Amino acid sequence: MPELSVTLVDRTGVSSTSHDNFKAGIMHELENILADLLYSTSEPTVISARWVSQSPAAGDQDLVIHWVPDRDHSYLRQRWTNIPIDPRAGGHTHKDGNVTGSEFYRFPRLKTPQAYAKLAAHEAMHNITGLGNRGLHGQMGLAGDARGTPLPIIPNDRTLAQAGMQRGLTSQLL
């Protein structure tokens, strides 16, 4: 059975009921996108996601994605100070040895949970496949570029994600 446990870490510093409702929408949309990516006709797909405000315990999840205010407050740069992040990026994923970290940024121009979920899903694709920008952005679909890519998922996205899941995820930046 294709299964994936996703922990979303809210590092935006925002606290309100409307923010919590918006986060619930992002989580729901992300679960749908990931379920589509990992869908199998032969067995059920189970995606479980949750939001936390602090780093989860090691071994407590498969995939961790951090939501941060912007590139200037990058959680990845707190760990790996010299990583380059494209100033136009909606998120970033970095691998160092057997540890991979993914984050996406809070942009005032993004108005829907689906837009943020698409950014998070694109970073999840980097994390799951282990491919950097050159290898992943050359593809079409969600893998191509989260900023301009419409949903639904295309078959190549599924092929890439499912192959990555078969190889297994690296340790996650907590």
**Cα separations in angstroms, 118 against 1, 10, 24, 77, 110:** 24, 16, 14, 22, 11
77/80 Cα distance (integer angstroms): 5
Both tokens assigned to 146: 């989260």
Strands (E), 72-145: 91-96, 99-105
State which H helix or E strand residue 126 sits in: helix 113-129
The pairs formed by 14-18 with CB atoms below 8 angstroms and a separation of 24 or more are 14/106
Position 3: which residue type?
Answer: E
Position 94: which residue type?
Answer: H
pLDDT tens track of the chain, all 174 residues?
478 999 999 999 898 999 999 999 999 999 999 999 998 788 788 999 999 998 888 877 789 999 999 999 999 999 999 999 988 888 999 999 999 999 999 987 788 999 999 999 999 999 999 988 888 887 777 777 655 555 678 898 999 999 999 998 999 999
Burial of 122 (0-12, 13-18, 19+ CB in 10 A): buried
**Cα separations in angstroms, 41 against 6, 38, 105, 107:** 22, 10, 34, 36
Structural domain harbouring 58: 3-172
Count of structural domains, the chain: 1
Q: Specify the pTM.
A: 0.91
Q: What CATH number has the domain bearing residue 101? A: 3.40.390.10
